[in-house]
A = this chain, B = another copy of it.
Amino acid sequence: MTKRLPEDPAKKARMLTAAIQLFAEQGYEPTHVDQIAQQAAVSKGLVFKYFTNKEQLYLAALTAANQQFMTVIDRTVWQNSADLSAMIINATRYKIQLQLQFPAEFNLLMTAFVHQQQLPASSQAYVQKMFVANHDLTSELMTPVVALLQFKPGATAADLLEVIGYITNGYIHKIQRYLAAHPEITKIEQMEPLIQDLATKLKLVESGFIQG
């Protein structure tokens, strides 16, 4: 309803791109608005006109990064999988692909949780909500696949999802560290060994590590 200010979308996009990259690389405090403006090839004043203050800019960067993934995401990756392990492998492979494609956005979201405490309370709630939504989406996509499984007595779908969540989360961090240490990697194929390793582990979680 409220008439939006006429904003140049190209400039706004450049600012967000710069913000995403620099906040992801350096964190919240060490990134200066000056830097972002310069990298976006706009004036500092315009950054404040479009985003009010540094905190809002950070939040906008976070939202944009999240949107990036939400827009691009291909749900069929989750849906067209034979079984749970295959699904997770597909999903992980897909995430790595996204990470290779949008490294700055990916990094920003990964570090966002951590920087929450450095932001005013109001922002923290927003970040929180975003992550909950992400988590819910993943659950939603996984639930139908898990529902088909035949669980042992005492085991539940929720338990398995939670455990898988911890493992994949840990693995994503491992991969991120690996990619950061090996910037020459640009193709998903080069990550295949790690993906297969994760597959093995997930299979073992399904069927059990221990003889008996």
Contact = CB atoms under 8 A, between A and B. Distances in A.
> How many copies of this chain does one complex carry?
4
A62 B108 CA distance: 25
Interface in A18-63: 25-27, 29-30
A8 B114 CA distance: 35
Nearest to A153: B211
Interface string A93-120: 0000000000000000001001101100
A201 interface: yes
Nearest to A204: B155
Contacts of A150: 210-212
Interface in A146-197: 149-152, 154-155, 159-160, 162-163, 165-167, 169-171
Given A26-B117, A29-B118, A204-B152, A209 B160 contact: yes
Interface string A196-212: 00001100111111111
A7 B25 CA distance: 32
A151 B114 contact: no
A166 B171 contact: yes
Interface in A125-159: 149-152, 154-155, 159
